[in-house]
């Protein structure tokens, strides 16, 4: 679980992280790998019954909000702690 302390550390260390440039092929490969990992995790969680009624209800609310345009654009996951 990520707590506020972890988010502050991530936010303060992002300026210290080296910047790397990826080729288009490298970026696409990472995106495909990430998508594959998300699909696998979703399959495992679903098979184990991890999606509770409460979670599914929250997902429906989130999807409705997305359809209504109630989204906040972010550039990084560290923006979620702001």
* Other beta carbons less than 10 A from residue 81's beta carbon: 14
Give the C-alpha distances (Å, rounded to integers) separating 80 from 3, 4, 24, 48, 50. 12, 11, 27, 28, 24
Taken as a whole, the chain contains a residue count of 82
Q: What is the pLDDT of residue 5?
A: 62
Average pLDDT over residues 42-69: 88
Could you read off the pLDDT of 1-44 as tens digits, one per residue?
Answer: 455 565 566 556 556 778 889 899 999 999 999 999 999 998 99
| C-beta separation of 30 from 22 below 8 A | yes
Q: What is the pLDDT of residue 75?
A: 84
Residue located via tokens 């019954």: 49
Token pair of 40 as six digits: 């696998």
Q: Report if pTM > 0.85.
A: no
Q: What is the pLDDT of residue 11?
A: 59
Q: What is the pLDDT of residue 32?
A: 95
Token pair of 42 as six digits: 């979703």
Residue located via tokens 């409460």: 54
Q: What is the pLDDT of residue 79?
A: 79
């Amino acid at each position: 679980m990520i707590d506020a302390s972890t988010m502050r550390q991530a936010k303060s260390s992002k300026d210290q992280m080296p910047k790397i440039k990826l080729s288009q092929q490298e970026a696409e490969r990472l995106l495909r790998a990430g998508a594959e990992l998300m699909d696998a995790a979703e399959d495992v969680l679903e098979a184990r019954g991890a999606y509770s009624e409460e979670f599914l209800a929250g997902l429906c609310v989130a999807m409705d909000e997305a359809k209504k345009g109630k989204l906040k654009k972010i550039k990084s996951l560290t923006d979620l702690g702001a």
